[in-house]
Structure 1
Amino acid sequence: MNRLILSLLFACSTFLGAQAQNPIIKHIFTADPSPIVHKGTVYLYTSHDTASVKDTNYKMPDWHVFSSTDMVNWKDHGALLSPKTFSWAEGDAYAAQCIERDGKFYWFVSTFHKKDANSNGGAAIGVAVSDNPTGPFKDAIGKALITNEMTKDMPHAWDDIDPTVMIDDDGQAYMYWGNGSLKWAKLKKNMIELDGPITAFKPKNFIEGPWIYKRKNLYYLVYASAGTKPEMIEYCTAPTATGPWTYRGIIQENVPNSFTTHPGILDYKGKSYFFYHNGVLPTGGSYRRSICVDYMYYNEDGTIKPIVQTSAGVAAVK
């Protein structure tokens, strides 16, 4: 009888474990998901939380890359980039996004700038480059692409974070970023120089973590909102990459056990996926976060249906 009970308990635990895919990365704490597809494989670029349970602030030493061909099994390629890669940088490895262009992979990262001849410090955005999605990556320009001195619309020193990048159908690249206000600028085709002025504006309730993309004839600006704490995910749409932006509402409510969340959106093998982070792993929390993924659905008019957060996550694809 005892053996039968143990067998039943094992079968139940195995079944429940198979159903609980989220979080998708369980062996380390990860946040700020940035997915891309390259040659049929999903590559997921993440930040990495290493704060202790007692810490009351972030400790984020590096950025990781994971890959999958079925959206369920994820391979950790390791810590492929850190602020130490950049001679001008110091501090933590905040949200970042990688994008491919002309056979090269450009990893736009947010960290802090050392006080030197080029900057008085504060948040900054750099660019690393590689010939492969899993590196090796190196500093693409030997200096920061964005320093705190280049944006003056916000009084705090940490407003130049969380870059998101898209390449439009005509080949023009854009970068959006910010905390407190949203900044955007065009990028030259080489992806390492600005191609015009920086413009700042504030979508409704915007706080940080923007994600820019185009689907059919609509441009989407998805972001973490400051209407309440903890953060939620809200979005706008526009007919062009530069607006005018129409506010569309909340698509993701608060996540469990974390006061931040961060969107990453991907279409893969006929389905749309919404990546985010929460704090539900054992000993997890706001400074020990974990990436999850759930399905994303659109209405006929292109608006986004509310994201349903699940522990089951998504099914494996062929």
Structure 2
Amino acid sequence: MTLTSFHPGQVWNDTSRNRIQAHGGSIITVDGVYYWYGENKEFTVPGSSIWHWGVRCYSSTDLYNWEDRGLIVPPVEDDPEHPLHPGQAVDRPHIIYNEQTGKFVCWIKVMSKGSLQRSTVLVADDILGPYEIVQTWLRPLSMSAGDFDLVVDPHDGKGYYVFERVHSELIVADLTDDYTNVTGYYSTHFPQPQPPFVREAPAHFYRERKHYLLTSGTTGYYPNPSESAVSPTIHGPYTVLGDLHPTDASRTSFHTQISSVFEHPLKKDLYIALGDRWLPTYLDDGDHAHRAFEEHFAPGRDGDVRMEEFAEVNTSQADYVWLPLRFEGDRPVIDWHDEWSLDDFEDR
């Protein structure tokens, strides 16, 4: 069946009628074609010990109907110590194009035991690969680097790496000219004492000469109230604007965590928040959901936050919630839509 609109939170299949596997995903436009890529979780079921099965990519010309283009970064199956082994916690790939080198540059977060989180960096001549690893187990700025976004300044092509310094604060770091490392220059933002208050899952976008960062709290797979911030420069200072989803009574960002924001190249002022609904079977509403949030992430007697997981987390069945942003002055706001269409927005 050919789709002609978005249906947030419903199962989304590709053109071969298979469930789309592009979690923690982003979209990049190449020669007028949209490419949606993300974590392939098709085998990540309870008890499998498989965290990922590579990075999968899909292509589309309308954003509704997606053709499976396969694994652009396949897993490394025969080496448990390799950062791309299926048992490694590979998360949130981001790809940007470098005009100077003509390379597509992909960064991937890899979590290790404990709180140490590091990066693997790959490059390719084509968006669909093959990708060659150029950095493994990278600790940018000698920091444990968690959820992140990659940013290219639309005016001068300069690259930036925006990441959560694990359980601490958000960092904006300058990338080298080839986008494969950091230069050493960085700024710090939104310091917090501990999860769940620490901001993670940064999603950057640029609008009307201002830089925006959308973030979530640190609560594992359980969704929480999102937050937006705006700055005249990418290095700040950022002004916090509040919850992106003010009409959501459950205070769970419509049971979603945003992974990236896509600016539509052909529609006027259309920014789409791409979100993951990691726990589609837990959709409590209203005060009950917020009480569950507090119970699962309340401080214990020792002051540490109790990070209890749900009985079953089956990310192979996670769904997607794509919703448009609207703006109240500078403030971005996301409203719920059971269905929406690109036709609702003006052409550029």
* Structure-2-length-normalised TM-score: 0.70
- Equivalent residue in structure 1 for 2:38, among 41, 46, 49: 46
Rounded to whole Å, the distance in 1 between the matches of 2:242 and 2:151 is 22
Cα separation, partners in 2 of 1:251 and 1:60, compared to 1, 3 Å: same
Rounded to whole Å, the distance in 2 between the matches of 1:281 and 1:184 is 32
- Equivalent residue in structure 2 for 1:309, among 324, 336, 339: 336
Letter in 2 for 1:134: L
Superposition map of 1:1-318 within 5 A? 20=7, 22-25=10-13, 27-49=19-41, 50-52=43-45, 54-55=46-47, 59-82=51-74, 84=76, 89=83, 90=85, 91-102=88-99, 103-112=102-111, 122-139=116-133, 141-146=134-139, 150-151=142-143, 159-168=144-153, 169-178=155-164, 179-180=166-167, 181-202=169-190, 205-226=197-218, 230-252=223-245, 253-254=251-252, 261-268=257-264, 269-270=266-267, 271-279=270-278, 287-288=315-316, 289-299=318-328, 301-305=329-333, 307-315=334-342
Rounded to whole Å, the distance in 2 between the matches of 1:113 and 1:16 is 39
Cα separation, partners in 2 of 1:188 and 1:313, compared to 1, 3 Å: same
Q: 1:17 Cα deviation (Å)? A: 11
Which blocks of at least 5 consecutive residues in structure 1 are unaligned? 1-13, 115-119, 152-158
Cα separation, partners in 2 of 1:61 and 1:34, compared to 1, 3 Å: same
- SS of 2:76's partner is helix
Letter in 2 for 1:261: Q
Q: 1:267 Cα deviation (Å)? A: 1.6
Cα separation, partners in 2 of 1:302 and 1:88, compared to 1, 3 Å: same
Cα separation, partners in 2 of 1:285 and 1:30, compared to 1, 3 Å: farther
Cα separation, partners in 2 of 1:31 and 1:232, compared to 1, 3 Å: farther
Q: 1:36 Cα deviation (Å)? A: 1.8
The number of equivalent residue pairs is 286
Name the structure, 1 or 2, with higher relative contact order (CA <8 Å, separation 6+): 1
* Structure-1-length-normalised TM-score: 0.76
Rounded to whole Å, the distance in 1 between the matches of 2:115 and 2:322 is 35
Letter in 2 for 1:100: Y
Q: State whether residues 293 and 314 of structure 1, in contact with CA within 8 Å, keep that contact through their aligned partners in structure 2.
A: no
Q: Which residue of 2 aligns with 1:5?
A: none
Q: 1:222 Cα deviation (Å)? A: 1.0
RMSD over aligned Cα, in angstroms?
Answer: 3.7
Identity %: 18
